[in-house]
Structure 1
């Protein structure tokens, strides 16, 4: 019989999360918070880098900022739609207009987190999505 660490590692796969946000401080806060919860978290500094990672690597969850330079979160959603990925997406947004939410929802963002938000709110949503 192995120790508790071995049993845990064998029974639960670490979930991979990609955080795409151009705000470095917010990105680091999200990463640190979710890593503390036991998730494997990777980052992208803008929409272009985010799209490249999404197109080439499997993730269990994507956290995507709405407003970014180069490619906005909405443009990333449009570009990944043809890939038909089955990955949940949380859209971070300071834009609370319903038409923006509806359009993002059409392109695959099923969850929204308004900015500003507390780390505990984000953790609760991530846990709900990934762990039921």
Structure 2
């Protein structure tokens, strides 16, 4: 699993990366939303974990850009001040979730695993696709 971590605070970014790498994930980093968008256009990721309050492009604005594109990517939005005034935030986060800062190592890993697990259950397996294709031809 390849995860993109986006945060403008280096110390937070480094801790999140260390936790994820220790758990066996491949991790790439971006320092802000614009750099994250460039990374998303250049590589394929299974999950993006992004801070909200960043220069150049906020986490919510990055999330809007992702949802407006053809990218089908679960996102965990983390922030000390989640923008609850965003009326479309819940819809934007599907698939994904919001997570407040500070958080524990266990909370981070639990949320990552839950989002990835939900994602795996939502996608039909190749066997299901073959069966669906075969049934439609009957």
Classify the TM-score, shorter chain.
0.7 to 0.9
After superposing the two structures, state which structure 1 stretch, 72-81 or 104-113, moved more: 104-113
Partner of 1:7: none
Provide the C-alpha distance between the structure 2 equivalents of 1:67 and 1:80, rounded to a whole number of angstroms: 17
Shift of 1:65: 0.6
Kept in 2, the 8 Å contact 1:55–1:80? The answer is no
- The match for 1:91 among 77, 85, 90 is 77
- The match for 1:69 among 21, 45, 55 is 55
Structure possessing the higher radius of gyration over alpha carbons:
2
Partner of 2:29: 43
Kept in 2, the 8 Å contact 1:62–1:90? The answer is yes
Verify: 1:16 aligned to 2:2, yes or no: yes
Residue ranges of structure 2 left out of the alignment (5+ in a row): 119-138
Give the TM-score of the pair, scaled to structure 2: 0.77
Give the TM-score of the pair, scaled to structure 1: 0.80
After superposing the two structures, state which structure 1 stretch, 89-98 or 54-63, moved more: 89-98
Kept in 2, the 8 Å contact 1:66–1:74? The answer is yes
Shift of 1:97: 5.0
Shift of 1:108: 3.6
Q: CA RMSD in A?
A: 1.6
Kept in 2, the 8 Å contact 1:77–1:107? The answer is yes
Instruction: Write out per-residue CA displacement over residues 41-86 of structure 1, whole angstroms, 9 at most, x where no aligned residue.
Output: 1100111101111122110000011100011111111222222322
Kept in 2, the 8 Å contact 1:17–1:42? The answer is yes
Residue ranges of structure 1 left out of the alignment (5+ in a row): 1-14
